[in-house]
Structures are given as C-alpha cells and as structure tokens.
Structure 1
Amino acid sequence: MKIFAFGSSIVSSYWNGAATYYRGCYKYLAQRGHEITFAEPDAYGRQQHRDAGDYTYVKSLVYRPTVDIEEMLERASEADVVVKHSGIGVDDVLLERLVAEMSEERPTFFWDVDSPATIARLRADVQDPFREAVPRYDAVLSYGGGPASRDGYLEFGARAYYNIYNGLDPDTHHPVPPDDSLRCDVAFLGNRLPDREARVEELFLRAAMLAPERDFLLGGEGWGDKPLPKNLRWIGHVPTGDHNRVNCSAGMVMNINRSSMASTGFSPPTRVFEVAGAGACMLCDDWPGIDDCFEPGKEILVIRGAEDVVDALRRYDDAARQRIGEAFHARALKDHTYAQRAAQAEAAFLKSMEKREIVTSEVVGRA
C-alpha cells in the first residue's frame, strides 16, 4: 500500500526525539513492501542539522510550513493511507483537522508520539478542535501510554486504538568499540525540556554531586546555561549516528522519561532500545509497565532517586554490568524489534481498511 505520513522529521534528530521511532517503523514497513512518503516541515533548524544516514526507504518531502500544506494534502490524496503524527511543531492543529477530513475518501490515522500529553491537552480544553477530529480518524496509533492512553482516546471517541511501542533496529543500534574521549561512569542523552528538567536534576545532577569521584557525561540541547557539577561534562547535541559510541563508552547509561510519560507509564522511549541495542547497562527511571518490557535487576536497573544511582555504581562491577547489558540486548532482539512493530502497524492499517470494506458492503446491501 501507499502510505503518506506527516511528521516532525525523519532525516533529523535535532530537537526531534521521535526521529529514531519514525526511522524504525517506516524502514521496516518499507521492507514489508509498502511505499512510504514522509512529509516534514522546514522548521526548528532540523534541515540544517540533518543526520548522516540512508533514508531512501522513504520518499522524503520537505515543505514550507503553512505555505505548502495544500500541495502536501494533494499529494497525500494519492495514497492508500494517510497518517498525521503528533508533535510536528508547526501547523499541528490545522493538519489534525484537514487529515481527519480526508477520512471521507480514504483511511486516515492519528499516530501519537506523546499520547499522555495529548490526552492531558484534550481534557484541559473543552474547546480543543482535536476533540471533534479524533472520531473521524479510522484509528489512533500510539508509541506508548498503555491502558491509560487507550482509555483516554476511547473516551474521546476514537474508533480504534493500537499501541505501537518504540523498538530496536539492530542495523542502527549495536555494539561498537568504546571511544576514550567519551568514557565515563554514567551517561545521559536528552534535551532540556520543562517537564523533564526536575527529574534530570534529581536523578542525574544530584547523583553526580553525591559521587564526586565518578565521571558523568551529558548530551543534548539546551543545557548550556545550566549550573552543572564539576564532574559532569556537557557535550551538546549528539547526532543519532553517534549514540552507539556514547552508549558503548559509558559504564552505565541513564534513561529519564518526561514527567507525563513517567506518571502514565507503559511508554518506553527510543533511548531505552538504543542502549539495549548497544548491549550497555541501563539505569532507568521507574514507571508503570517497565517490567512488561524488561526484567528489573536482571535486564535493566530501575532507579527512583539519586541514592539508587550511587548505590548501583558501587554495587555492580564491570562484569556484572556486562551481564546485565547482554541480557538487555538479548531481550530486545527477542521481543522488541522494529520489524515486529512494523508488522503491528501494518495489521492496524489492514484491519481498519477491512472495517471500511465491511461498512461499505453493508451500505450497498441496504441500498
């Protein structure tokens, strides 16, 4: 089938944490024989910070925000399936409505990369126009949120809901030799975001202060004016292609979810699977559903405060960390690959198309 998707960016991870997710899902959908067009706006400097890589599995269209929307919709009208991803950053409200209106002619899907935030937004504003758009989409797909997100979307009239979690692309994230310039005891990669900063302060910055004899490494945008402990080094934006080197050079790698995802749970971010692919030992913040993905203590180490980080540094030697990283890697390859996620997305598309055919047949039969 021909799939046309609107998203933030598939070619750039700059201020765009969803890039790895898009690449994994659409790469393996393409391998299943589907033709993908991915339309992304020229916004936020993403096109000026493109990641190196081969993205020929999609046809990438870069459009001017607002100005080119009509042209993009005309191109989308030639597809079998049209997808609107959340969080594009420009024209989101407009596209949410216009793509939903296309459902009269073809299957349309809202594919959410931050469903806890979207549900919170809908509940906070009874005038939000997306409330009227939700029931018009054939289905909502979400990269996380579990039962709470499913129930939330059904509350607002979604016809169907499917969880399509983040995953691992072993071609992209895999073990590499460590880089001496990036060696550290604990690494964390994440942009400075309002709903995550307090959690970073508690789990990462305070842990560095409690363990001044250890080396901490911070990657991501926005931290330039943040006071940091002396044993913590900030290296700025880390392109996706360099994540393996960082992950394989650290004694442990930390994940810190944003507050909304942590409280809702069932939202394993791309970082978790990138680290699993590298076979590194992960320190992961605690959230509901983590044990559905990986076994705490054996495949992943769960932390609830800075003291847990310091305790893990002192309790687990290199051999123990290696065992945990290897188990983490094996579980991801077994249960959490993007090839599996793409098959789930394909099944959601086909089931929705089948429902349309049944409804059409019933209408014709009554006529």
Structure 2
Amino acid sequence: MRRSDEIIFIGLSITSSWGNGHASTYRSLIRGLHQLGHQVLFLECDQPWYASNRDAPILPYCKSRLYADVDELRARYTPRLRAAAAVIVGSYVDDGRNVCDWVLDHATGVKAFYDIDTPVTVARLQDDSCEYLRASQVPEFDAIFSFTGGPILDRLERDFGAKAARPLYCSVDVDQHQPVGSHRDIDLGYLGTYSEDRQPALEQLLNQTARRVPKRRFAVVGAQYPSNLVWPKNVQRIDHMAPGSHAQFYGRQRFTLNLTRTDMRKAGYSPSVRLFEAAACGTPIISDEWVGLDELLEPGREILLANSTEDVAEVLENVSDAEARQIAAAARERICAEHSSLHRAEELDSYLSAARGAGLEQPLRSAAGVSGERAVAAH
C-alpha cells in the first residue's frame, strides 16, 4: 500500500471554539504544520452545541470534515487512515475509546494520542472512568503527546507503559495575535470558559478585587457561566468571543488574568493557550502560581503572580503603565521566540520522525526542508 504524506487528526473540535480551548490549540498547531508544507485532515464529531457556534467552518490551512459517529468514520475514512503518514487522536473525543480502537487496528503510519487534558486523563485512567481512553490503549500508541509537561510524562511511561510520552504545549498564532490599539479601558480582564474548580479563583482574584476597587473596570468573557452567578456592577460579562476578536479584547486590557484548573495547577507545567495569546498580544499578565510557570515566563520580569485579592489590587493600584509595558514586551518577546505555531509544529514534526524509527524510513519532513537539527535546536 502506498503511504500518503497526510496527517490525520481526530479531535474534539477545530471548527468551533465555543466552550473549549481545544479549537485554538489545534488551529495554531495545524497552521504551523501547514507552514512546514504538511497536508492535514481534521475529523470532528458533529455536535449540536458546536454546530450552533461554528466560528471557523472552513480553514485555509487544513481540510476539516464532520462525522456523526464511529460507524461513519469506519465506513468513510478507513482507507485514508491506512494510508496516512500519521494519525493523532485527541482527548475528549466523543466515543473516544472506540475511535482509538479503530485507529490502533487500522492505521499503518505513526499512531499517537494528543492529550490536552493530561492530569484529568491520568486520574481517570486509574479507575477506568476515562471515557475517551483506556489504560490498556496507552502502550499501543507510538507516542503520547501531552499538553502538560514535567513529572507526569515519566508517570505515563512508568505506570501506564507509554512508549514515548512527550510534552506538546499549546502555542500561539503570532500573525493573528499581535498588539492592537492603545486605548486600554479595562483595568483587568479574563477570557475563559466556566469551570467549577476554577471559579473560586476567579471570584477571589477578579470579583473580590472589583468590589474592593469599584472605580476600576473589569470584564469576563466566556461561555457556560451559570445564570445565577452574581457579578459586581463594574464587571462586564460577554458570553463568547470568537478567536478573531481576542487580540482586540486583549488590547483593551491594562492587565489580563490567567487562571488554571485545579488538576492542572497541581500537576504543574500546564500553560493554557490563553497565557500564550495574551503575551503575544502585548498585554501584561497576572497569573495564579504553579510549578513550571517560571520556566516559561520569569516572574516579576515577564509575568506577575497573585495569590490573593490583595495581590491583584496592589498591581492595579501601584504598577505604573510604563512598568506594565516593560513586562508585556518581555513576555511577548519570549513567547513569540519559543511558542509560536511554527515552533510547536517543528517540535511535533521531530517527534513524529522519531516515532517512525531512526534509519528505517525517511523522516516525516515537508518539502520546505526544515532540518532535524533546526527542529531540535528550536526547543
């Protein structure tokens, strides 16, 4: 059978960013793969909540196709799956266990799993409550790519038998996310979908701060927040904002708040896509604190940390605009140099090449001719 050069992703969503961070992560990564010359097909289960909020039904850098269920995947895409150079299944895919079975049974190229929710996945693998992956499937993949780095990668290999667990952080499309405008009429903003375990931090660091400094302006953008939540009068609420408008929103903020889900914070090494987007847009970031953050951005110079309402109020009241601009500029320089779409795609490219086996086949490399040395050196 002739092998194609195509990379197939089967993920939660790329066509709709409503209520999830997966779409932005996939869009950035796959745009980078396109820059390297790769052909990508993204398969996404058609869900009603995404169908009514589809902000990117057509993407210029990949083909995206919707499917109804695993039976349709088998009927329509098995030959293409067998011919693909690599097939990557993402976390939280509907009926993911059966999707993984289909991929593991029929794919002949590199078979990988991309976990954008690794701490949650690992916790659920232990008691077999993970709906999208079985523990027994982990060692069958050629590689496990993880949104979370650090010690959890060793655990995937040691406790679950992963052949190769590798960090694959999210990234940012630096062409789309750039500093926009200079009228910063929001003192502190937050962009993120509602999460029950993240809400206490949002209450403490943003809402309580808003009550403490009522003359300051705040904004929270994100879907699925309960209708019975009571917001301070000086907090503007916006239900959803398409990625194309994120740069403009960040451009309005004097500071933006970065918050991390409990499981991610405990595991550490789990930067969100919003962290990279805000930095690329030149907005100074106030973040909660977790292990590994200082390896991405230097506290005090490239990012500000806060553990209490008092910490946030102190920043808003006492950090000058000049200081804020310096912090934002340093963060933007760092993130654009190390976490762009192209950097992350080169990293994935090198992982896929390694998974194919040194010397057994030609590296999975685009016509653009990015060398293995450059891909490794970039990270």
TM-score by length of 2: 0.88
User: What CA distance in whole angstroms lies between the structure 2 residues aligned with 1:54 and 1:295?
Assistant: 38
Q: Deviations over 1:246-279 (max 9, x none)?
A: 1010110001011111111101110011101111
User: What CA distance in whole angstroms lies between the structure 2 residues aligned with 1:283 and 1:303?
Assistant: 6
Residue in 2 that maps onto 1:209: 211
Residue in 2 that maps onto 1:230: 233
User: What CA distance in whole angstroms lies between the structure 1 residues aligned with 2:48 and 2:118?
Assistant: 22
For 2:229, give the aligned amino acid.
K
Residue 257 to residue 222, structure 1, CA distance change in 2 (3 Å): same
User: What CA distance in whole angstroms lies between the structure 2 residues aligned with 1:325 and 1:303?
Assistant: 16
Q: RMSD of aligned C-alpha atoms?
A: 2.1
Q: Deviations over 1:225-262 (max 9, x none)?
A: 31111111111111111111110101100010111111
Residue in 2 that maps onto 1:196: 198
2:349 aligned with 1:346: yes
2:262 aligned with 1:259: yes
User: What CA distance in whole angstroms lies between the structure 2 residues aligned with 1:50 and 1:178?
Assistant: 30
Query: Could you tell me whether the CA contact under 8 Å between 2:189 and 2:257 is conserved in 1?
Result: yes
Query: Could you tell me whether the CA contact under 8 Å between 1:179 and 1:249 is conserved in 2?
Result: yes
Comparing 326-335 and 292-301, the one that deviates more: 326-335
User: What CA distance in whole angstroms lies between the structure 2 residues aligned with 1:107 and 1:324?
Assistant: 41
Residue 26 to residue 323, structure 1, CA distance change in 2 (3 Å): same
1:319: Cα distance to partner? 1.3
Find the partner of 2:87 among 59, 82, 88: 82
User: What CA distance in whole angstroms lies between the structure 2 residues aligned with 1:74 and 1:297?
Assistant: 53
Residue in 1 that maps onto 2:187: 185
Query: Could you tell me whether the CA contact under 8 Å between 1:186 and 1:253 is conserved in 2?
Result: yes
Residue 54 to residue 248, structure 1, CA distance change in 2 (3 Å): farther
For 1:80, give the aligned amino acid.
A
User: What CA distance in whole angstroms lies between the structure 1 residues aligned with 2:58 and 2:322?
Assistant: 36
2:10 aligned with 1:6: yes
For 1:276, give the aligned amino acid.
A
1:317: Cα distance to partner? 1.5
User: What CA distance in whole angstroms lies between the structure 1 residues aligned with 2:33 and 2:268?
Assistant: 26
1:355: Cα distance to partner? 5.5
Comparing 139-148 and 297-306, the one that deviates more: 139-148
Residue 18 to residue 356, structure 1, CA distance change in 2 (3 Å): farther
Find the partner of 1:160 among 164, 168, 171: 164
Query: Could you tell me whether the CA contact under 8 Å between 2:149 and 2:166 is conserved in 1?
Result: no
2:126 aligned with 1:93: no
Query: Could you tell me whether the CA contact under 8 Å between 1:116 and 1:149 is conserved in 2?
Result: no
For 1:291, give the aligned amino acid.
D
1:54: Cα distance to partner? 6.5
User: What CA distance in whole angstroms lies between the structure 2 residues aligned with 1:97 and 1:52?
Assistant: 29
Query: Could you tell me whether the CA contact under 8 Å between 2:118 and 2:146 is conserved in 1?
Result: yes
Q: Deviations over 1:273-300 (max 9, x none)?
A: 1101111111111111001001111111
Residue 244 to residue 127, structure 1, CA distance change in 2 (3 Å): closer
Superposed, 1:35-184 pairs within 5 Å as 35-52=39-56, 55-70=59-74, 71-88=76-93, 90-102=94-106, 105-125=108-128, 130-178=134-182, 183-184=185-186
1:87: Cα distance to partner? 1.5
Residue in 2 that maps onto 1:30: 34
Query: Could you tell me whether the CA contact under 8 Å between 2:111 and 2:142 is conserved in 1?
Result: yes
Query: Could you tell me whether the CA contact under 8 Å between 1:39 and 1:72 is conserved in 2?
Result: no
User: What CA distance in whole angstroms lies between the structure 2 residues aligned with 1:326 and 1:311?
Assistant: 21
Unaligned runs of 5+ residues in structure 1 are: 359-367
Residue 131 to residue 244, structure 1, CA distance change in 2 (3 Å): same
User: What CA distance in whole angstroms lies between the structure 2 residues aligned with 1:54 and 1:174?
Assistant: 23
Residue in 2 that maps onto 1:281: 284
User: What CA distance in whole angstroms lies between the structure 1 residues aligned with 2:354 and 2:190?
Assistant: 39
1:356: Cα distance to partner? 9.5
Query: Could you tell me whether the CA contact under 8 Å between 2:16 and 2:57 is conserved in 1?
Result: no
Query: Could you tell me whether the CA contact under 8 Å between 2:187 and 2:254 is conserved in 1?
Result: yes
SS of the residue corresponding to residue 55 of structure 1 reads coil
Find the partner of 1:293 among 293, 296, 302: 296
User: What CA distance in whole angstroms lies between the structure 2 residues aligned with 1:9 and 1:179?
Assistant: 33
SS of the residue corresponding to residue 14 of structure 1 reads coil
Query: Could you tell me whether the CA contact under 8 Å between 2:113 and 2:143 is conserved in 1?
Result: yes
1:142: Cα distance to partner? 1.0
